Structure 1
Amino acid sequence: MRLFLCEKPSQGRDIAKVLGATRRGDGCLIGTETTVSWCIGHLLETASPEAYGEQFKSWSLDHLPIIPAQWMVEVKPKTAAQFKVIKRLLSEASAVVIATDADREGEMIARELLELCKYRGPVQRLWLSALNEASIRNALSSLKSGQETFLLYHSALARSRADWLIGMNLSRLFTLLGRRAGYDGVLSVGRVQTPTLRLVVDRDRAIASFISVPYWEVEVHLSSMGQPFIASWLPPSSGQDEAGRCLQQALAIQAAQEISSGKTATVLSLQTERFREPPPLPFDLSTLQEVCSRKLGLGAQETLNIAQALYETHKATTYPRSDCRYLPESMFNEVPAVFDALLKTDPALQPTFGRLDRSLHSRVWNDAKVTAHHGIIPTTEPANLARMSEQERQVYELIRSHYLAQFLPHHEFDRTQVELKCGTERLTAVGKQILIQGWKGLLYENTEEDEPSQKHQVLPVLQQGTQCAVNDAELKSVRTAAPKPLTEGDLIKAMKNVAKLVNDPRLKQKLRDTTGIGTEATRAGIIKGLIDRGYLLKKKRALMASAAAHTLIEAVPAAVADPGMTAIWEQALDEIEAGRLTLDAFVAKQANWIAQLVEQCGALTLAVPVEAGPTCPICNASMRRRKGKSGPFWSCTHYPDCKGTVPIRKDTRRS
């Protein structure tokens, strides 16, 4: 019997249908010579510390670091029944085809089961980019060898073990240090979550420390041959700051008066430059999350859930957890089939299709830039829009538009910058003349939303020496604005492009520009976890760090919270996948680093906010507030070695 091992029941049903495995079994679907079964995500998890010794049940600095000599996994209680099904099927299987999601976590979900159940037979890999029938049949006809994707498993194991070492050891370490200082909460530390939290804390600090500075602008209303346009006053170099702003009110008032009293402004020079903007590429997951946050107000996890539903439930789009925005050259042959499917899905697209050029070969078709996955695009099978929720349809239409944009011309425009003189004052005006609307007629990408409106104006015909009438000069008082709080989309973008935020020259040299923190598959979950733990607070679309988050980031060593260091670790996981670094070497380095941190930080005193309490009646140590079944009470900070307590009277309790 050949066993297909899938990641989810829905995925299993789709593959079983194509294989003809239609007879229902216990946790599986059975065909003539083929059985399809499925996990429910990870059926196994890395064993908790107490599995390595009874002493680890209690949290103590004396027991740190906890570094397993032999790693253990445990069956998740909630899915133990399905594990038994798979264990039995593996014992009967003559061959296994791994059909989990085509990424390193999918590889690990299957491989950890094969290893625990001691399966030693042949293994092949089904590598799917979409769950529609045509894509499944195509993938079945070109199965990969199991060896070809085996190192993905080691990369995932390395990620899992590094996360465990850091999470279990440093969370215990800093929670215990916090308790010693009187902090009555858990300080959770994670390999990716803590540097991600640092990004928000840094933004909060930048906002809190920002001092707004007033500056002045002069907006000049001009006209030539009856056509009005707007110019801006250029302060003299002696009156500018580094950003070219005028900080001297008297200077701006004087300029406004001189310009107002002048009747004309003369064109000194003008320069026109032509721009050609190619259509935006199809989405990878991070870019989709970023755009959906900005346009639709969706959280990162919401976007991922919707993209997963479009892939799994509706079969409308391809694999969502992609880190690539390009398409393989071979998929150009599928364009007619995709177009046919899109028209059947939504006949209202007919006028749009009349403007598309199917022969256009945009930059998206590039084998050299395709990774394990390609960009997220529509599939070759029609979808049912009526079955989609409003948000699903909105996300689907974004994905669809970015695909169709590849078959429209570049957006072309001329940008003209003019310099003028009015008396002794100099002015500048910028204009834009659209020549070819191109893809922007389909995709209303608001790429210019942060630019002043006068940059989009159409200028009259001007040449050197042209005299323009001065109609008005308006003095404007402006203040510098603080940085904006991060949204989930901003945070996803910062996690992905963390190399740009790294200042350490040594890290920057090592760090590839393509290396971020977390992966396409995990970033949304990291952000959700920080929100669920109360480290991140969400107000409308804005994210802010809680007081506990600031406490944690101030407490942990810089390397633990450094996004650049975490990105270096992510880079190491890529090296394992490529076969240039071994799993054991990576984990050994992590273990050594953890041991050093525990030794260095064990004697730290954390600066955490704490309510002043009484001294312990037994050992005279300070006491901290704790919560019990009957309400709050004072407990000795040397607990459990000292079990001294003092009750808190009701009239002194905090509300």
Structure 2
Amino acid sequence: MAGIVYLCEKPSQARDIARILGATNKTKHYLSSSDVTVTWCFGHLLEMASPDRYGEEYKKWTLETLPIIPDQWRLDVRPKVKAQYKAITQLVDKAGHVVVSTDADREGETIAREILDCCRYQGQISRLWLSALDDASIRYALDNLKPGTETEPLYHAGLGRARADWLVGMNLTRAYTVVARTQGYDRLLPVGRVQTPTLRLVVDRDREIKSFKPVPYWDLVATLATDGGETFAAQWQPPADVADDKGRSLDERTARRMAQQIEDAATRITAAVTKRERVAPPLPYDLGTLQQDASKAADMGAQTVLDTVQSLYETHKAVTYPRTDCRYLPVSMFGEAATVLDAMHRTYPDADAAIAQADSQRRSRAWDDTKITAHHAIIPTTKHADLSRMSAAERRLYEMIRTRYLVQFYDDHKYDHIILSIDIAGATFRATGKAVVVDGWKAVAASNEANGEKINNARLPAVSEGDVCRVAGTEIQAKQTRPPAHYTEGSLIAAMKNVASMVSDDRLRKILKDTAGLGTEATRAGIIATLIDRGFLAKKKKKLVSSDAGRALISILPGAITNPATTAAWEQALDEISAGRITLDDFVARQANWVCQAVDQVQQRGLNVPKGVEPTAQKKCPKCGKPMRKRTGQHGSFWGCTGYPDCTTTAQIGSKQRRKNAAKG
């Protein structure tokens, strides 16, 4: 027996755990002591087998061989990691106890468990559930191993995700590509369970912007003066018959008549309301909100944020597990607050005043056991960080994370929201202002927003109901409605997270939870990067825009494939598997049935390539009349009929055409 084998996700993780366990004997494939072995993967060592591994007939892309629904799913060892896989299987064969020590999430569970399944391991399985990689956190996790049965549903969810991706990608990519070729569209039509609906979000937004027609409106602002000589601005509230649903005046002449009407008119304060507002500190970060804020504040791409915060977690041990979708903290961690604050204080040797003034006994709403998912929010660890070893991007993200934690120990921000209603010649005007009462947490992390509502920070004079003012001036401000903003990586991440809020279909809205989204915290950045790499999206400065190819793809594919709500419902089902409420077999059976219906539809009805999507093959077959497309053989390019193999007609490409092809590269 090899004693206890700890199976980690990557070498760096294995080294950290081995150091605490005293496994100092080093080999190429593992670290060990007399009774403990720590080995590692390189992410997924196994990958889903390609369709041709299920039969020779699947080597060619034809509609007749679809759908491909495996009876027994196959995994292949990735070629570059065969030596490491072999070493792990030899260790597992001799082990009586394996501790799954991969990242504490769905994919981490799958990386380890799929190896154990392939090895047909029958021994004891425990789970090392790490929330951070500093020494104290590792020791705590080692002393509190979970039984393997507790986290096994995560593995089933991981298998469900992989199999759903395979079924959709392999079958529908083939189906739509093959049919599109018969209509002269000679391009790969990649269909992804998450990538395709994500692309549609951007395409729909770009179309909305392109078709947007600005509507002019006019604001009338009056400058009012009190008897004491103080002035303030008030805005006209136009009546419904000349305003849109947002209260904006759509008639310039009416606004200008009103401006003339109120000159030297009697003015009276009809209501003066002061509301004391309090704003709690913003919750600590999950990965998605960190990506959104870093996109706004530092123009950092989503993948860059993920890679950077992963380095803060793995290399610097400065923050807790980053691939989390939770913004709350367990109550049990409140007792560590003073230690974390002290570590932060030591990180800043010039004695950061904001940390020194924090009240470690103040418990904010962030500590709430009922809101904890598989992980808690991203916060600093109890290990003080060495800023000199961090890159500029790492320091920036660490500062953001530590500030979000720090504000939990400050009072609420309090201010008076003042609303004045003014009657001027029978018309209603309104003035708003803000008077800060207690800075609270905003002394540490300033913001001009309160509960999502932007408040005018202008100070208003001390006036009361019934007071009289005079009109000191008027201004007509000509404005236009604006189109929605282009997506950025940050705002697209937010849209992917909150697809449920964008669903118009009543039936789907009832099915989806408020938190239903596309992908997971760990995968969204990679999905966006893949769409950019494939040329379906482009990044122009901070904006994400769809390419011609991206818009064409969404135009060709039916709505059932591109609908973000469909994929969000699937992702929600994966969460149900993780929670043990539905089975893997049921989920995969439903996915297979859906794919069969989608393939049957394209087989029966073909594909509608809409106008504006240019086919790549313009030449028609002289024998059967079907489009011909360019192919490449041993002797160069030639025209081949898209009716192949029923029609085998070919034609040479002339020298003029070859020169054009060469010029295009």
Matched, 1:433 2:439: no
- 1:410 paired residue among 409, 412, 423: 412
- The Cα shift of 1:176 comes to 1.2
Match of residue 364 from structure 2: 362
| Distance in 1 between residues matched to 2:651 and 2:447, nearest whole Å | 62
Change (3 A) 1:625 1:221: farther
Match of residue 621 from structure 1: 626
1:554-565 matched pairs, under 5 angstroms: 554-565=555-566
Look up the SS of the partner of 1:456 in the other structure.
coil
- The Cα shift of 1:636 comes to 2.0
Could you tell me which amino acid in structure 2 is paired with residue 95 of structure 1?
H
| Distance in 2 between residues matched to 1:627 and 1:441, nearest whole Å | 67
| Distance in 2 between residues matched to 1:32 and 1:486, nearest whole Å | 55
Look up the SS of the partner of 1:71 in the other structure.
coil
Matched, 1:584 2:585: yes
- 1:29 paired residue among 28, 31, 34: 31
| Distance in 2 between residues matched to 1:292 and 1:349, nearest whole Å | 26
CA deviations over 1:445-477 (Å, ceiling 9, x no partner): 353799878x22111001112222322211111
Contact 1:344 1:382 in 2 (8 A): yes
| Distance in 2 between residues matched to 1:346 and 1:633, nearest whole Å | 68
Matched, 1:227 2:230: yes
- 2:380 paired residue among 378, 389, 399: 378
| Distance in 2 between residues matched to 1:176 and 1:82, nearest whole Å | 39
Q: More displaced, 196-205 or 421-430?
A: 421-430
- The Cα shift of 1:67 comes to 0.6
1:125-524 matched pairs, under 5 angstroms: 125-224=127-226, 225-259=228-262, 261-262=263-264, 265-447=267-449, 455-524=456-525
| Distance in 1 between residues matched to 2:634 and 2:359, nearest whole Å | 71
- The Cα shift of 1:106 comes to 0.4
- 2:651 paired residue among 645, 650, 653: 645
Contact 2:182 2:626 in 1 (8 A): no
| Distance in 2 between residues matched to 1:244 and 1:624, nearest whole Å | 57
| Distance in 2 between residues matched to 1:258 and 1:168, nearest whole Å | 70
Look up the SS of the partner of 1:348 in the other structure.
coil
Contact 2:275 2:417 in 1 (8 A): yes
Could you tell me which amino acid in structure 2 is paired with residue 615 of structure 1?
K
Look up the SS of the partner of 1:538 in the other structure.
strand
CA deviations over 1:168-191 (Å, ceiling 9, x no partner): 001111111221222222111111
| Distance in 1 between residues matched to 2:573 and 2:471, nearest whole Å | 62
| Distance in 2 between residues matched to 1:295 and 1:238, nearest whole Å | 41
Change (3 A) 1:413 1:627: farther
- 2:4 paired residue among 2, 13, 20: 2
Q: More displaced, 99-108 or 509-518?
A: 509-518
Q: More displaced, 215-224 or 38-47?
A: 215-224
Contact 2:7 2:41 in 1 (8 A): yes
Could you tell me which amino acid in structure 2 is paired with residue 445 of structure 1?
S
Match of residue 112 from structure 1: 114
CA deviations over 1:219-257 (Å, ceiling 9, x no partner): 222232232221111212221111211111111111122
Look up the SS of the partner of 2:449 in the other structure.
coil
| Distance in 2 between residues matched to 1:208 and 1:141, nearest whole Å | 59
Matched, 1:593 2:598: no
Contact 1:267 1:420 in 2 (8 A): yes
| Distance in 2 between residues matched to 1:402 and 1:628, nearest whole Å | 60
Change (3 A) 1:233 1:203: same
| Distance in 1 between residues matched to 2:630 and 2:222, nearest whole Å | 64
| Distance in 1 between residues matched to 2:453 and 2:638, nearest whole Å | 57
| Distance in 2 between residues matched to 1:643 and 1:31, nearest whole Å | 69
- 1:609 paired residue among 608, 614, 628: 614
Change (3 A) 1:626 1:434: farther
Match of residue 545 from structure 1: 546
Could you tell me which amino acid in structure 1 is paired with residue 549 of structure 2?
A
Contact 1:266 1:422 in 2 (8 A): yes
Change (3 A) 1:514 1:611: closer
Could you tell me which amino acid in structure 2 is paired with residue 508 of structure 1?
R
| Distance in 2 between residues matched to 1:400 and 1:94, nearest whole Å | 42
Could you tell me which amino acid in structure 2 is paired with residue 219 of structure 1?
V
Contact 1:3 1:34 in 2 (8 A): yes
Match of residue 60 from structure 1: 62
Look up the SS of the partner of 2:544 in the other structure.
strand
Q: More displaced, 275-284 or 466-475?
A: 466-475
Match of residue 534 from structure 1: 535
- The Cα shift of 1:423 comes to 2.0
Change (3 A) 1:611 1:24: closer
| Distance in 2 between residues matched to 1:340 and 1:143, nearest whole Å | 28
Contact 2:237 2:429 in 1 (8 A): yes
Look up the SS of the partner of 1:363 in the other structure.
coil
Change (3 A) 1:436 1:645: farther
| Distance in 1 between residues matched to 2:346 and 2:633, nearest whole Å | 63
- The Cα shift of 1:515 comes to 2.1
Contact 1:220 1:230 in 2 (8 A): yes
For normalisation by structure 2, the TM-score amounts to 0.95
Change (3 A) 1:232 1:625: farther
Could you tell me which amino acid in structure 2 is paired with residue 293 of structure 1?
S
- The Cα shift of 1:480 comes to 0.8
- The Cα shift of 1:632 comes to 6.1
Look up the SS of the partner of 1:136 in the other structure.
helix
Kindly report the root-mean-square deviation, in angstroms, between the aligned alpha carbons of the 2 structures: 1.9
Contact 1:617 1:644 in 2 (8 A): no
CA deviations over 1:68-95 (Å, ceiling 9, x no partner): 0110000001211211111111122221
| Distance in 2 between residues matched to 1:652 and 1:481, nearest whole Å | 44
Contact 2:232 2:460 in 1 (8 A): yes
| Distance in 1 between residues matched to 2:438 and 2:453, nearest whole Å | 21
Look up the SS of the partner of 2:352 in the other structure.
helix
| Distance in 1 between residues matched to 2:448 and 2:24, nearest whole Å | 49
Q: More displaced, 177-186 or 427-436?
A: 177-186
Look up the SS of the partner of 1:82 in the other structure.
helix
| Distance in 2 between residues matched to 1:605 and 1:561, nearest whole Å | 14
Contact 1:23 1:31 in 2 (8 A): yes
CA deviations over 1:8-33 (Å, ceiling 9, x no partner): 11000000000011111121111121
Contact 1:177 1:606 in 2 (8 A): no
Change (3 A) 1:587 1:56: same
- The Cα shift of 1:562 comes to 1.5
| Distance in 1 between residues matched to 2:558 and 2:30, nearest whole Å | 49
- The Cα shift of 1:612 comes to 6.3
- The Cα shift of 1:7 comes to 0.2
- The Cα shift of 1:264 comes to 5.4
**Where do 5+ consecutive residues of structure 2 fail to align?**
none
- The Cα shift of 1:621 comes to 2.4
Aligned residues: 653
